[in-house]
Amino acid sequence: MRKVECTIKDTRAAKLYDPAAPCCLMVYFTYPGVIALRKYRRAHKHWLKGRKNLARWISYRARKRTGIEIHPAAKIGEGVFIDHGMGVVIGETAEIGDACVLYHGVTLGANTFEKVDRHPKLGDGCIVYAGATLIGPIHIGDNSVIAAGAVVVKDAPANAGLKGVPAHHNS
């Protein structure tokens, strides 16, 4: 039942955050971000059950279809919206809280090749605008906003506004 609830919440998030969104049925079947999250949730379930090859295959097929790459081991909350998704990359140890929004070209990437916790963690309610890059095992607090094109390499508290290269807090 949880998978269905997440899929419904993801679809509703798309309707909430995209003023151009048509009916929920069209969002469910035609929005790349919703499709990618649906496929991710299926792949993640297989990953957790130890069927890693199948999980990677599902992930690969979803990337080919949507242009959005989500590692099946990543942890993604409910009601997440990936808008225009092309070029989004979400790494293996990345975590995304509930009700987050990611725009196209966002990268949640690593800064090492070692098998350690190496990807960003986003709190609930974060918005990451187009082309932003978050690198390394950083923590971004709840309800933070990351500007388009920002490069974030350090932790940020809740309600932070981050912009620039490297990103800094708005004052």
Integer Cα distance of 49 and 147 in angstroms: 37
Q: At what angle do helices 32-48 and 52-66 cross, to 10 degrees?
A: 170
Angle among Cα 38, 162, 104 to the nearest 5 degrees reads 35
> Which residue segments constitute the domains of the chain, with CATH numbers given?
2-169 (2.160.10.10)
Q: At what angle do helices 2-17 and 32-48 cross, to 10 degrees?
A: 160
Res 116 pLDDT > 90 = no
Res 150 pLDDT > 90 = yes
Q: Are 138 and 119 in contact (CB under 8 A)?
A: no
Give pLDDT, residue 58: 97
Integer Cα distance of 30 and 140 in angstroms: 30
Res 1 pLDDT > 60 = no
Look up residue 25 and give its amino acid: L
